[in-house]
Amino acid sequence: MGIWQQRPRDDHPTGRVVAYDIETIVDTEPADGGFPPIPQHRPVTAAFLGATRLPDGHHDFRLDVLVCRPGQEADFYRRVDACLPPGVVGIGWNTRGFDNAVFRLQAMRSRTFDLPGLARQTQAGRYDTTHCDLADQMASYGSSRTLSLSAVCEALEIPVKTSVHGSDVGALWRAGDVEAVTRYVAEDTIATWICWLHWAAWKSADPAELALPLDDFASWLEITPALSPFRSFATCPPALWARAQALELRTAAALADAERRLARERDEQSFSESPF
């Protein structure tokens, strides 16, 4: 063997993923208007979108939006941990550089250590298939300039940051507008997941990786009253494309399955009629 080790694979499984995002506040904003250091950030909300591919090829979804109130930090981190069960691939945008670092430090601060799911995500290496930081992926591991989620969503025609931006979170939270903050974090999480679908379809050269889950997700949004604030994701250009593609893909798959069944029946009939 040579002295050079092969880089680990970064082909993240797509069958069971959880996209997530957090919103934080700081006690004192920097006088120069810069971004506060990570140790000063305290999470106030987090959202988790779980997507699981079922045996029949359709998808099951779950959206959890959590709020962290003073004195309830330990409970918050345990609920975060429950949203990241064994076997899922965590998906985020700059999560290795921010979200996971904040989670890790603030969970330690609350003296909450029995968090195997969260620890698994925060300790995932750069090329580990346990976690996918899309910001790093889109920048080809630093080969090109890191892009913002909003810039990528604008290019892909995914609605995001439609009414609130990250700079508004502190003021909204202090004003007691928790609903605006939770809606914002959920919106970013959904947008991150749709970006992930584009990435997965591109890497695998398979449009089904985008079309089928996004088609199912759009249908889920439409039939779930509690998700009405996010229905713009069901009518955005990627979703409309996905719905048309999914119909063609599922029709072709059904025809291919019918042909296989007929061929098997013919083979079985020929075998039963054989004199030997």
Top pLDDT among 271 and 73 is at 73
Parallel, antiparallel, or unpaired for β 131-133 and 89-92? parallel
> What's the 3-state SS for 69-121?
CCCCHHHHHHHHHHCCCCCCEEEECCHHHHHHHHHHHHHHHCCCCCCHHHHHH
CB of 186 within 8 A of CB of 163? no
Which pLDDT score is estimated for 261?
Answer: 74
Most confident segment among 5-9, 166-170, 222-226: 222-226
Which pLDDT score is estimated for 245?
Answer: 95
Which pLDDT score is estimated for 4?
Answer: 56
Between the two ends of the chain, the Cα-to-Cα distance in Å is: 55
- Residue 264 binned pLDDT confidence (cut-offs 50, 70, 90): confident
pLDDT tens per residue, range 129-164: 999 999 999 998 878 888 999 999 999 999 987 677
For 77, the token pair is 């981190």
CB of 56 within 8 A of CB of 214? no
For 254, the token pair is 């059904």
Cα–Cα separations (whole angstroms), residue 267 to 127, 258, 276: 47, 14, 15
User: Which CATH number is correct for 16-29+38-205, 1.10.3720.10, 3.30.565.10, 3.30.830.10, 3.30.420.10?
Assistant: 3.30.420.10
Which pLDDT score is estimated for 91?
Answer: 98
- Assess whether pLDDT exceeds 50 at residue 14: yes
Q: Starting at the edge strand that comes first in sequence, how are the strands of the sheet with 16-25 ordered? A: 59-67, 42-53, 16-25, 89-92, 131-133
- Assess whether pLDDT exceeds 70 at residue 248: yes
Query: In the Cβ-directed half-sphere of 43, how many Cα atoms lie within 13 Å?
Result: 31
pLDDT tens per residue, range 162-199: 677 777 888 898 998 999 999 999 999 999 999 999 99
Cα(209)–Cα(200) distance, integer angstroms = 6
Cα–Cα separations (whole angstroms), residue 237 to 35, 147, 199: 33, 21, 16
% of the chain beyond a pLDDT of 90: 71
- Residue 1 binned pLDDT confidence (cut-offs 50, 70, 90): very low
% of the chain beyond a pLDDT of 70: 89
Top pLDDT among 112 and 271 is at 112
